[in-house]
Chain A
Amino acid sequence: METDTITAISTPMGEGAIAIVRLSGPEAVAISANLFQGKNLNEVDSHTMHYGKIIDPETKEMAEEVMVSVMRAPKTFTREDIVEINCHGGLVSVNRLLEIVLASGARLAEPGEFTKRAFMNGRIDLSQAEAVMDLIRAKTDRAMNVALKQMDGRLSRLIQDLRQKLLETLAHVEVNIDYPEYDDVEEMSHDMMEQKTKEVHEEVTRILDTARQGKILREGLGTAIIGRPNVGKSSLMNALVHENKAIVTEVPGTTRDVIEEYVNVRGVPLRLIDTAGIRETEDIVERIGVERSRQVLKEADLILFVLNYGEELTDEDEQLLEAISDMNVITIVNKMDLEQKLDIDRVKQLAGDHPVVTTALIREEGIDQLENAISDTFFEGDLDAGDMTYVSNVRHVQLLKQAKESLEDAQNGMAMGVPLDVVQIDVTRTWEILGEIVGDTVNESLIDQLFSQFCLGK
C-alpha cells in the first residue's frame, strides 16, 4: 500500500458538462473533507455522493459547487480510499479545483498511476500487467510530448537561466567546502547567498504570476477581436459564446457580462478581452493608428482579425496585418455570402503562416473551421491527449510553487544563522525542482560546473 495520496483530473479535457478530480490514498477523504462545505465527509457512508461547496483554504472563498463521491477501501478501483469531486466542466474551473486539492496535501499523480496502484494493490489481475505497463509508457510519452509543446520557449529559457544562476551559486559554496585553500574566489557569505536566493525567488514569483501558460490556465487565452466597423465582430463573439455553452466560471450573482468573458473552444479557454473592449476596438486603426494599436494588441495572446468579403482591403488593414504578423493571429474573412470585393489572395499573402478562415457567420457557416484554427494555434495541431495538456501545466505551476517554498526554507535558514553548507540543501532542492520542469535532473551538472568555473588543484 502506498503512503501518499495522489490526485489528477480523470475526465477528458473540458468539453463535457462536468469534470472529475479524483483522489486516491490514505488521506483522500481527509483532504476532501477539509475543503468541503456540506456534510462531514469523514463520517459519511462509503460509496455515497454528496452535494456541497469547495472552499479555497487560501482565500476562504467558495471555489466550486460540486458533487463529491466518497468510496472507502478496499472496494474501490485502487483498493485505496478514493474521492471523486465532480465539478463544472471546463478547463479553468477543473484546474482551479485541482490546484486547491494539490495545495491541500495531495500529490499530482504520475501518468497511469491510478492504474498502477490498482495493479500493485491486487485489484487488476495478473494478465493485465502488460496493459498496465503499456498504459504507463503511452501516457508518459504523450504527457512528455504535450508538456514539451506546452512549454513556452521563453519560460523554458527563463528557468534554465535561473538554474544556471543557482548552479553557479552552488558551485561557489562547494568550492569553498571542497577546496578550502583555494584563494581565487571570495568566500561565499550569507549576504551573497541571500542576494542570490532573493533574485531567484523574485523571478520564480514573477513567473508564477505572469507566465503565459499559468495565466492561460487561470485566466484563459487573452483574445482580442479586431476589425473595421461592420465586419461582423459582434456576430463572431456571439457565435463563439453560443456555440460553446460550457461557460466556465459560474459565480452566483455575477453579471452575464463577466461570465461571457470566458468561452471554451475545443478545450482552449478564451478570455475575450472585455465586451466593452470590442466596442472600443471598433475604430481602433483610425483612432489611434497602427503603431499604437499594436501596443494595445500586445496584451493579447490571440488576435481574431475580421475582414469583410464584400469590401476592399484598405491600407490600414494591410498595415495592421503586417504590424501584428509576429503574434498569434487568425484572419477571418467574414460575409462570404456577399459579392466579392476583397482580394483574398492578397490577404493570404499578407497573413503568411497564420491561418485564414472564411465564414458567413450570419448563416452559421465556417464556425467549425474557425474553432479548429483556434485549437490548432494553441495546441499546434496535436490535441488528442486531452487531459494531459493541462495536467502538465498544473504540474509546472506546482513545481514552481515547490521551488518557491524551497527558496523560502533557504531564506529562513539564513535568517536563523544556519551555515551555508546546510542552507545549500534547500538551494540544491530548488535547483532540482526547477530541473523537473525543464526535464533535466542530471546531478553531474554541479560537479561539471565546479570544474569549469574554478581552476582547482589541492
Chain B
Amino acid sequence: MTYDAGHYDVIVIGAGHAGVEAGLAAARRGAKTLMLSLNLDLVAFMPCNPSIGGPAKGIVVREVDALGGAMGKVIDKTHIQMRLLNTRKGPAVRALRAQADKPLYIKEMKRVLESQDNLTMKQGMVEKVIVEDDQVKGVITETKAAFYAPTVVVTTGTFMRGRVLIGDLSYESGPNNQRSTVSLSEQLEEMGIEMVRFKTGTPMRVNSKTVDYSKTEIQPGEEEPRSFSYETTEFITDQIPCWLTYTNEHTHKVIDDNLGLSAMYSGAVKGTGPRYCPSIEDKIVRFNDKPRHQVFLEPEGRDTEEVYVQGLSTSLPEYVQNEMMRTVPGLENAEIMRAGYAIEYDSVVPTQLWPTLETKQISGLFTAGQLNGTSGYEEAAGQGLMAGINAAAKALDLETLVLDRSQGYIGVMIDDLVTKGTSEPYRLLTSRAEFRLMLRHDNADLRLTEIGYQLGLIPEERYERFQEKKRQIEVEKKRLNKLVLKADEVQAVIEEAGGSPLKDALHAVDLLKRPEMKYEHIDRVSPSEENLSDDVKEQVEIQIKYAGYIKKALEQIDRMKKMDSKKIPDNIDYDAINGLATEARDRLKNVRPLSVGQASRVSGVNPADVSILLVYIEQGNVARVSGE
C-alpha cells in the first residue's frame, strides 16, 4: 500500500531544536539527508520560554557552534536582547543568554535549512519506522510514503502520546495544539524500548498592550555587543527590555484556594515533572513561607504583542489563571492570549542508548532531544547534533564522535543520560560537570573546533582563523613566561589595581597571578608586538591566572581517561563474573557500558565491582592472546 518515496542516508523525524541540528550535521558530513516535520512553518519552534542560553546551556550553544551547528548563528541574528551572565564570578561559569524573537528564529532557521546542501525537507507525519532484523530500513508516513535509509534519527520531543492539561480539560496534543503521535510510541514499545511518562509545563502569554509596565522593574539588555557564534560579525544593537514583577499573598491565595482544580494537583497528571522549573502551584505548595515569587515579562518577539509570563507556569483552569493576573502588579488588566498548560509525554529511558545516541535494540535507530528525557532547547540541540554526526557516520562508514566529560557539557549530558539515566526531565546545570573549570564559555572553540574541522563541519576559513588564534595564545603565554618586569616599571599599574608594591623584579606570569592584576595591566606596561584580539587576551589571562587549578583538573582528567580507555568487550557476560554484587551486575547488564570508566559511573557499581571487572577483562585479554 505504500509507495517508494526515495532513498536517503539519514532520515530525521522532527524539526525541533534536536532535529534541525541532526539534519544539518548529517548533511554537512555528506549524508543525503531527509528531514520530516509535522509542520514546516514551525521548524525550531520554541514552545516554551523565548530564550536561549543561560548557565551551562549557553556553553552548550557555543559547543554546538564549535562543531558547526546552527543554534548560535541563528540566535545571534534573531535575538531581542543578549546578556553575559555571572560576569562577577569566575570564568568557568560565565554564560550568554539571549531573549529570542520567536517568529524570526523560525524564519532564519528555515532559511539555513533550506540553503543546506544534501538536506531535503518535507512535511509529513511518520506513522512507523521500518525495521527488519533489528536493523532500521526507513520510515512510512501517514500518506503512505516509504522513505528508505539505513539510519533514522527520532527527535519527536514531547509529541509522543503528548497530552495537554489545563484544569480538568485534557486532550491529546503536542505543544501548541499540534498533533501528537501515538503509533510511533507504540511501535517503539513493541520493539522493546522502554518508555517513561514525563511532564512539563508552560505559563500564559499576555497581550503587551494590556500590561502596565510602570508597575514593574525594567531588565535591559547589555550595550556590549555579544555573540554565541565564533562566525558572527554583525551585532544587534537595538535591544528590547524585559520586565520584572512579583506575585504576592493575594496571588498565592488564589492559587491555594483553587489548588484542587490544577491538573497537577487533582491527580490528572501522571508524569514526573522537573524540579528545576516548577509550576507556580508547586512553588506555593513547596515553599509556602515565601512571600513572593519573581515574574519576568519577556516579549516573544519584535513584531508581536505576545509576552511570555516567566515564572507562572501552570495547569490551573483558564479562569483561575485570569484571576491570578488580577493580583500581580502590572498585570491587573492583562489579557491572556494563550493560557498556560501542562503537557505529558512519553520519553525513552536513555540508558537504552549507546553514547553515540544509537539505540541498543535497533541498529541504525537514533534518538535525540526531549524524547530522551531532557528538557531545554540547548540540551536538545546538543544531542541532535551528536545524533546527526553519528547517524551520518553509520550510514557512510565514517568516524563516530563521542565527547567525554572533559570535552564539553554535551559530553557530560550524554554520559549522564546513557550511564545513569534520569528520573525527571534532565536539565544541564554547571554542577553536573566535574571539570567545570575546563568547560568554559570562552574556550568552547579551543575545545572543539579541531574536532569539528576533522569531521568536515567547520569551513576552512574559520578553521584558519581558529589556528591563528591558538598560535597567538601560545606565543603570548610564552612571552609572558619569559618576560621579567622591573619593580619600577609596574609600580604604577599595581598601585592603580590596588595591589601591594613590588620589591623585586617579577616574571609577568607571576604578576598576573595576583588576584587584582589583569592582562590589560601588563599589556599597558609591556604590550605584545602583535595586535591581539580581546579573545586572545582573555584566554591568556584565564590560562595563566588559573594555571594551578587547571593543572589539577588535567590530572583528574588523565585518571578518568585512563579508565575510559579500558574497553569492555561487547560480548561480555556479566552473569559469568562471580564476584560482582547483585545490584552492580543488574545495572551493568542494563547499561552495558563500553569502558571500565563508564562502568564506574553507573550508580550501584562500587570500586570493588570495578576491580573485579578489570580482573575479568584482563583474564579475557590473556585468553585471547594465548588462544592465538
Which residues of A are in contact with B by a Cβ distance under 8 Å?
A: 110-113, 116, 119-120, 122, 126, 129-130, 132-134, 136-137, 140, 170, 174, 176-184, 413, 416-422, 425, 442, 446-447, 450-451, 455-458
Q: In this assembly, does B86 line the interface, its C-beta being within 8 Å of a C-beta of chain A?
A: yes
A455, B278: Cβ atoms closer than 8 Å: yes
B615, A176: Cβ atoms closer than 8 Å: no
Q: In this assembly, does B233 line the interface, its C-beta being within 8 Å of a C-beta of chain A?
A: no
A455, B429: Cβ atoms closer than 8 Å: no
Q: Please name the residue on chain A nearest to B513 by beta carbon.
A: A416
| Contact pick for B287, options A129, A182, A446, A455, CB 8 Å | A455
Q: In chain B between 263 and 298, which residues have their CB closer than 8 angstroms to a CB of chain A?
A: 275-278, 283, 286-287, 290, 293-294, 296
9 A-B pairs with least C-beta separation: A417-B515, A419-B90, A133-B579, A137-B579, A140-B608, A455-B287, A451-B275, A129-B619, A421-B90
| A111 proximity list for chain B (CB < 8 A) | 608
Q: Please name the residue on chain B nearest to A126 by beta carbon.
A: B622
B293, A455: Cβ atoms closer than 8 Å: yes
Q: Please name the residue on chain B nearest to A422 by beta carbon.
A: B90
A283 to B355, CA, bound (A): 75
| B278 proximity list for chain A (CB < 8 A) | 455-457
Q: In this assembly, does B56 line the interface, its C-beta being within 8 Å of a C-beta of chain A?
A: yes
> Mostly helix, strand, loop or mixed at chain A's interface?
helix
A177, B86: Cβ atoms closer than 8 Å: yes
B611, A177: Cβ atoms closer than 8 Å: no
A425 to B546, CA, bound (A): 12
A421, B429: Cβ atoms closer than 8 Å: no
Q: In this assembly, does B436 line the interface, its C-beta being within 8 Å of a C-beta of chain A?
A: yes
Q: In chain B between 107 and 138, which residues have their CB closer than 8 angstroms to a CB of chain A?
A: none
B430, A174: Cβ atoms closer than 8 Å: yes
B615, A136: Cβ atoms closer than 8 Å: yes
**What are 11 contact pairs spanning A and B, CB under 8 A?**
A111-B608, A126-B623, A137-B579, A137-B581, A420-B90, A421-B436, A422-B549, A425-B436, A447-B432, A457-B293, A458-B310
A418 to B550, CA, bound (A): 13
| A421 proximity list for chain B (CB < 8 A) | 86, 89-90, 92-93, 430, 436
| Contact pick for A181, options B89, B90, B294, B580, CB 8 Å | B294
A181 to B246, CA, bound (A): 13
- Given A418-B515, A450-B431, A458-B310, are A134 and B578 also a contact pair (CB < 8 Å)? yes
A129, B616: Cβ atoms closer than 8 Å: yes
| A418 proximity list for chain B (CB < 8 A) | 90, 515, 546, 549
| B296 proximity list for chain A (CB < 8 A) | 181, 458
Supply 8 further A-B pairs (C-beta < 8 A) apart from A174-B429, A419-B90.
A133-B612, A416-B515, A420-B89, A421-B90, A421-B430, A421-B436, A422-B437, A458-B296
Binary contact track B303-320/A, C-beta < 8 Å → 1, others 0: 000000011000000000
A447 to B580, CA, bound (A): 29
B294, A457: Cβ atoms closer than 8 Å: yes
Give chain A nearest CB distance to B434 CB in angstroms: 8
Most interface-central of A122, A457, A458 (chain B CB within 10 A): A457
Binary contact track B400-439/A, C-beta < 8 Å → 1, others 0: 0000000000000000000000000000011110001100
B86, A132: Cβ atoms closer than 8 Å: no
| B615 proximity list for chain A (CB < 8 A) | 116, 119-120, 129, 132-133, 136
B578, A456: Cβ atoms closer than 8 Å: no
Q: In this assembly, does B85 line the interface, its C-beta being within 8 Å of a C-beta of chain A?
A: yes
| A422 proximity list for chain B (CB < 8 A) | 90, 92, 437, 546, 549
Q: In this assembly, does B575 line the interface, its C-beta being within 8 Å of a C-beta of chain A?
A: no
Q: Please name the residue on chain A nearest to B246 by beta carbon.
A: A183
B546, A458: Cβ atoms closer than 8 Å: no
Q: In this assembly, does B594 line the interface, its C-beta being within 8 Å of a C-beta of chain A?
A: no
Q: Please name the residue on chain B nearest to A139 by beta carbon.
A: B608
| Contact pick for A457, options B90, B283, B436, B614, CB 8 Å | B283
| Contact pick for B431, options A126, A446, A457, CB 8 Å | A446
A183, B294: Cβ atoms closer than 8 Å: yes
| A170 proximity list for chain B (CB < 8 A) | 431
A133, B577: Cβ atoms closer than 8 Å: yes
A450 to B294, CA, bound (A): 18
Q: Please name the residue on chain A nearest to B49 by beta carbon.
A: A458
Binary contact track B460-493/A, C-beta < 8 Å → 1, others 0: 0000000000000000000000000000000000
| Contact pick for B310, options A137, A450, A455, A457, CB 8 Å | A457
Q: In this assembly, does B192 line the interface, its C-beta being within 8 Å of a C-beta of chain A?
A: no
Q: In this assembly, does B603 line the interface, its C-beta being within 8 Å of a C-beta of chain A?
A: yes
Q: Please name the residue on chain B nearest to A141 by beta carbon.
A: B608
B293, A178: Cβ atoms closer than 8 Å: no
B611, A110: Cβ atoms closer than 8 Å: yes
| Contact pick for B89, options A176, A416, A458, CB 8 Å | A176
A112 to B616, CA, bound (A): 14
Q: Please name the residue on chain B nearest to A3 by beta carbon.
A: B562
| B454 proximity list for chain A (CB < 8 A) | none
A137, B612: Cβ atoms closer than 8 Å: yes
